[in-house]
Amino acid sequence: MNTGDKSAHEVLWNPPPEARARTRIGDFMQWVARDRETDFADYAELWRWSVDDLAGFWSAIWNYFDVPAYSQPTEILADADRMPDTRWFPGATLNYAQAVLRMPGLADGDTAVIAHSQTRRAVHYTAAELREQVARARQGLFRLGVRRGDRVAAYLPNIPETLVLLLAAASLGATFASCPPEFGVRSVLDRLGQIDPKVLVVVDGYRYGRKSIDRSAEIREIRTALTGLGQLVVLPYLDPSAAPGPGAISWDQLVAHSGELTFEPVPFEHPLYVLYSSGTTGLPKPIVHGHGGILLEHMKSLALHHDLGPGDRFFWFTTTGWMMWNYLVSGLAVGSAVVMYDGDPAYPDPTRLWQLASISHTTYLGTSAPFLLACRKAGVSPRAAADLSALRGLGSTGAPLPAEGYRWVYEHVAPDIYFASISGGTDLCTAFIGGAPVLPVRAGVMACRALGAAVQSIDEEGWQMIGREGELVIGKPMPSMPIGFWGDADRARYRSAYFAAIPGLWRHGDWITIAADGSCVIGGRSDATLNRGGVRLGTAEFYSAVESLPEIRDSLVIHLSDNDSGTDELLLFVVLDAGCVLDARLRERIAARLRDELSPRHVPDEIHCVREVPRTLSGKKLEVPVKRILRGELPETVSAPGVLADPEALTPFIELHAHRTGAPAIVAAIDS
């Protein structure tokens, strides 16, 4: 949030008068009033009930969405006051794939999946065709010996076959995991090596922008290293005529035989898939999510917060290495068709995603804050470049979006669109802060805490705060909190990751300010905080100030402090627009902007120009890994190249550390 901008909280959109009557969250409120004889005047009252009466709320979600189950729960939650040991819906058995493939509101002949790609022609599946493909893949996996509890892994992009594989594995009670093919060998093995998959499905390569990328050599290395692998399946994607190679079978062979589409009944907490942390600060955490928790959370979030249902086409630009891909798949569970894209979102120009939304008649488009800001910087006006008449909702995540990003959406995408900037994470595979279609949208502000998410802001002594920035914690259990980490039998690693710092509370690692009306502003990562002379500031606010200057395309700020040595340095790295120069005049303008909008203490000691800010593949800035490099840690211990959008982006920081410590290195990439 840019505190110097007096219009930062201006209302950009108000829900129409009929919103409560026409939205899914409004329908849910009416259903609760009838079924539970509990009425709510507004969203705030609904949210308060959802966190005060967890059993009542989540049983309402179960019943409202008519979750298909083989056996009903004996209770809603047990040990509710023993987070993280809460047990949800004990006694219930169900299957995520069955609920997804029910696709409520979609007839057999209705479009269920639309997939565009830079590598091959577009693919469309009707609801009936999708079920048939899943049945075939299920039959193929069964023939390969996959049973309940086995792991099925994918080295695949965001294409229909990956979705089919996930649902086929889930239907058998097997556990799924995926890595996008842009991951290098080390990144894949760091992840899949932890779960010992029985079957691995891969593509031979893919196209991205102007490049064709062959993955044959990487696949050979991965296959050799995964010593417990039972079968390799190759999808000839880059070269349709490519043979699978010795000892492997093709995707066509896997799905050659039709079969009955049946589903293994599994307990609510049975492992559905393993998601991985970014791996920027060590070996990626293998986060295990369960069938029931993911199903309930995603149905709630997609239907009630994004207002998705039958008749919608849901498109979130993502890769299979980001939890938003799993979120996208669940769109089918609420009756929406899903739109997939594999390729460069800015190729051949920055209007590519908007054009795809137009072609596919997308009704809800999701992307990242960095992408929206890049479009703004590039002068893109999507409403002028594409027919977005079908688009009624837009989502953003991956990083906090400053107020100017919100205003750009309403000026250049659509003046009457429902826009939601959301925040959550891989750890819960959802957003716990975002929007609701019955709440106004204000510049730079996330409208609400999500239903069922007891998000709090606490101070250093653990007291809850309103109107002041504090540590983001979740005070009560949620069904999509992980079952645990793979291989962490006593859950010690899981407890250490989220509950050790503040016992009894989930610590997420962000700064948050919660207003009296429940709206929220994320201030950045709490482990990357700027704290000079007792003046604490989240990095999101810093970036908003710096990147509002027209010359600056991107930025990264690092605070190096050490009480023992007396170090207290603030280093700013900027990426400039073409033709701009980091001269004395621009340095002073940057300093003046930070001095005026933040504080004199937040004027950097040094400002450097770099070619690119290091980011993960999902667009997150690598603040902590860069800080560790500048403190002298080895690059290979703080990040894996395969998780970075551009591994070379770390080079300037490695060389800067060498230069500052007197090591024999040349800082060639700094200020170039």
Question: What digits encode the pLDDT tens for the residues 652-664?
Answer: 998 888 888 765 4
Distance, in Å, from the CA atom of 468 to the CA atom of 456, rounded to the nearest integer, reads 11
pLDDT at residue 566, as a whole number: 56
Contact by Cβ (8 Å): 305, 329: no
Total count of residues recorded for the chain: 672
Q: Summarize pLDDT for 232-256 with one digit per residue, the tens.
A: 999 999 999 999 999 999 999 999 9
Distance, in Å, from the CA atom of 283 to the CA atom of 643, rounded to the nearest integer, reads 11
Per-residue pLDDT at 215 exceeds 70: yes
pLDDT at residue 644, as a whole number: 75
Contact by Cβ (8 Å): 177, 195: yes
Contact by Cβ (8 Å): 237, 120: yes
3-state secondary structure of 38: coil
Residue 326 falls within a domain, yes or no?
A: yes
For the chain, counts of helices (H) and of strands (E): 22, 35
Domain span holding position 231: 11-17+88-520
The label of the residue with tokens 């995707």 reads 251
Q: What DSSP element (H or E) covers 658?
A: helix 651-660
Share of the chain above pLDDT 70, in %: 93
**Arithmetic mean of pLDDT over the chain:** 91
Among 520, 544, 559, the domain boundary falls at 520
Phi, psi of 11 (to 5 degrees): -75, 125
Q: What is the SS3 assignment for 346-401?
A: CCCCCCHHHHHHHHCCCCEEEEEHHHHHHHHHCCCCHHHHCCCCCCCEEEEECCCC
Per-residue pLDDT at 628 exceeds 90: no
Per-residue pLDDT at 345 exceeds 90: yes
Same domain, 95 and 206: yes
Residue 490 falls within a domain, yes or no?
A: yes
Mean pLDDT for the stretch of residues 331-355: 96
Per-residue pLDDT at 639 exceeds 80: no
Q: What is the CATH number of the domain that holds 538?
A: 3.30.300.30
Per-residue pLDDT at 429 exceeds 90: yes
Contact by Cβ (8 Å): 522, 514: no
- Least confident among 142-146, 213-217, 503-507, 516-520: 503-507
Beta strand pairing status for 199-203 and 231-235?
parallel
The label of the residue with tokens 């409403």 reads 383
Q: What is the CATH number of the domain that holds 366?
A: 3.40.50.12780
Per-residue pLDDT at 621 exceeds 90: no
- Least confident among 16-25, 328-337, 561-570: 561-570
pLDDT at residue 1, as a whole number: 37
Among 520, 553, 575, the domain boundary falls at 520
Residue 67 falls within a domain, yes or no?
A: no
Same domain, 546 and 576: yes
Q: Summarize pLDDT for 151-205 with one digit per residue, the tens.
A: 999 999 999 999 999 999 999 999 999 999 998 888 899 899 999 999 999 999 9
Same domain, 479 and 547: no
Same domain, 384 and 395: yes
Considering only CA atoms, give the Rg of the chain: 24
Q: What is the SS3 assignment for 133-145?
A: HHHHHHHHHHHCC
Cα distances (Å, whole numbers) of residue 103 to 59, 274, 297, 328 = 21, 24, 16, 14
Q: How confident is the model at residue 536 (pLDDT cuts 50, 70, 90)?
A: low
Per-residue pLDDT at 76 exceeds 50: yes
pLDDT at residue 585, as a whole number: 93
Contact by Cβ (8 Å): 457, 513: yes
CB neighbours of residue 324 within 10 Å: 25
Same domain, 327 and 405: yes
Residue (of 493, 494, 370) closest to 428 by Cα position: 494
Q: Bigger pLDDT: 80 or 143? A: 143
Residue 37 falls within a domain, yes or no?
A: no
106: Cβ–Cβ under 8 A, 6 or more apart, which residues? 112, 127, 310, 335, 337
Per-residue pLDDT at 7 exceeds 60: no
Same domain, 447 and 543: no
Distance, in Å, from the CA atom of 217 to the CA atom of 214, rounded to the nearest integer, reads 8
pLDDT at residue 316, as a whole number: 98
pLDDT at residue 82, as a whole number: 78
Same domain, 280 and 235: yes
Share of the chain above pLDDT 90, in %: 73
pLDDT at residue 419, as a whole number: 98
First-to-last C-alpha distance (Å) of the chain: 31
Distance, in Å, from the CA atom of 385 to the CA atom of 413, rounded to the nearest integer, reads 10
Cα distances (Å, whole numbers) of residue 104 to 66, 88, 162, 314, 333 = 10, 25, 22, 15, 7
Residue (of 366, 415, 350) closest to 389 by Cα position: 415
Mean pLDDT for the stretch of residues 85-97: 96
Q: How confident is the model at residue 665 (pLDDT cuts 50, 70, 90)?
A: very low
Contact by Cβ (8 Å): 381, 352: no
Same domain, 311 and 347: yes
pLDDT at residue 3, as a whole number: 38
For residue 273, give the DSSP letter.
E
Mean pLDDT for the stretch of residues 570-574: 93
Per-residue pLDDT at 637 exceeds 80: no
β-sheet bridge partners, residue 208:
211
Q: How confident is the model at residue 672 (pLDDT cuts 50, 70, 90)?
A: very low
Same domain, 94 and 158: yes
Q: Summarize pLDDT for 440-495 with one digit per residue, the tens.
A: 999 999 999 999 999 999 988 889 999 998 999 999 999 999 999 999 999 999 99
- Least confident among 3-7, 455-459, 536-540: 3-7
β-sheet bridge partners, residue 424:
431
Phi, psi of 171 (to 5 degrees): -65, -25
Among 467, 489, 520, the domain boundary falls at 520
Same domain, 413 and 526: no
Same domain, 465 and 584: no
**Torsion, Cα of 359, 365, 369, 375 (10° steps):** 20
Q: Bigger pLDDT: 644 or 174? A: 174
Q: Bigger pLDDT: 400 or 169? A: 169
Mean pLDDT for the stretch of residues 619-648: 78
Cα distances (Å, whole numbers) of residue 424 to 168, 396, 410, 556 = 27, 11, 24, 22
Per-residue pLDDT at 5 exceeds 60: no
Residue 40 falls within a domain, yes or no?
A: no
Distance, in Å, from the CA atom of 598 to the CA atom of 570, rounded to the nearest integer, reads 14
Q: How confident is the model at residue 279 (pLDDT cuts 50, 70, 90)?
A: low
pLDDT at residue 670, as a whole number: 41
Question: What's the longest Cα–Cα distance across the chain?
Answer: 74
Q: How many domains does the chain have?
A: 2
Contact by Cβ (8 Å): 440, 410: no
Same domain, 564 and 624: yes
Mean pLDDT for the stretch of residues 55-61: 97
Residue 528 falls within a domain, yes or no?
A: yes
Residue 646 falls within a domain, yes or no?
A: yes
Q: Bigger pLDDT: 299 or 604? A: 299
pLDDT at residue 537, as a whole number: 63
Residue 56 falls within a domain, yes or no?
A: no
pLDDT at residue 504, as a whole number: 87
Q: Summarize pLDDT for 31-50 with one digit per residue, the tens.
A: 999 999 999 999 999 999 99
Q: How confident is the model at residue 641 (pLDDT cuts 50, 70, 90)?
A: low
388: Cβ–Cβ under 8 A, 6 or more apart, which residues? 354, 357, 358, 382, 413, 414
Distance, in Å, from the CA atom of 315 to the CA atom of 336, rounded to the nearest integer, reads 10
Per-residue pLDDT at 97 exceeds 90: yes
